[in-house]
Chain A
Amino acid sequence: MYEFFMALAKWLQNTWWALDISGSTWAYPFVQLTHFTGLSLWIGTNLSLDLRLLGVGSKRQTAAQLSDALFVWNWTGLGIAILGGFMLFSSAATKYIPNLAFEVKLGILVPLGVLWHILVQWHARRREQADNVTPFGKLAGLIELLLWFSVIIAAVSIPNYDTSH
């Protein structure tokens, strides 16, 4: 399995777009910009909904109303983050594959976070139409909040697990 991912990573790292990114002084920061802009939209809107579910902050809108209001840009943010993340990964794929923090982030936490977010969003839009949030809604919001913090912890730990030097 590891050999398969390594072979895929080697191919990806030698594609024209990956070589363009890694070979340019200016491209890499712009790819990072894409990733962080998407993450700001995705995580910023996720945290706003989770905090509303937890009953923290303004309660002028129900969790269902807030989820509806943020829906389009929430998923647009994830799309932008994935695009930027894929390009960042492509530029140094063989370095990322053996990195434990990266494996935990992308192999476990991100898929789990996205799946949990779908559940949270579905629940908020259908079951949280009153001012007071249900106990399940609060628990779901707290779990999602912790999941995305775990993703950030794994992401900032990637340089500490870098074995390429």
Chain B
Amino acid sequence: MIFCLYLFICLSAIVVQTTLIPDIRLMGGCYDLLAPIVIHVGIFRPFREGIPLILISGWIMDSLSGGPFGLYLTVYVWLYILVRYLRQFLHVHNMILLTLVATAAVGLEGLILMGIFASRAELGQTPGLAINGLIIQIAWAFFTMPFIFLALARILKKLDRWRMTVSADKNGLG
């Protein structure tokens, strides 16, 4: 059930990112909306749920993007691994720390994408523009990530409550 919910959230994020956000001028430098979801999955969900989600999301993103196939898949897998590793040392349940980790992840994702982009295209002519874009993405991430994490936490809480009610009804306790 939770896997399906995460999948639905991922798909919604992809659809929003490819339809609504490009048309909003203010959001022109918006970061990849799947990055916070990858971080969230990495921290709060078990490995058996996380990996399929990451693979499916990366695959869809790669299918829609003009970049080389496997680019997003690679980025998400590495972000996931990094977050799983960091989880052992950091108290990532803290909202501020979580936001910082997610913002750093957006920065890292941007750097990886920029590196691959630069290696394929002639980024050398306008590196300032690309770096500027990355800074805007990081700023957006820093200010909006807490809201995304709060929304995710709230959705999961509601789902838990609903599941408990359903199971109580089934057992005749409701």
Do A and B pair up? The answer is: no
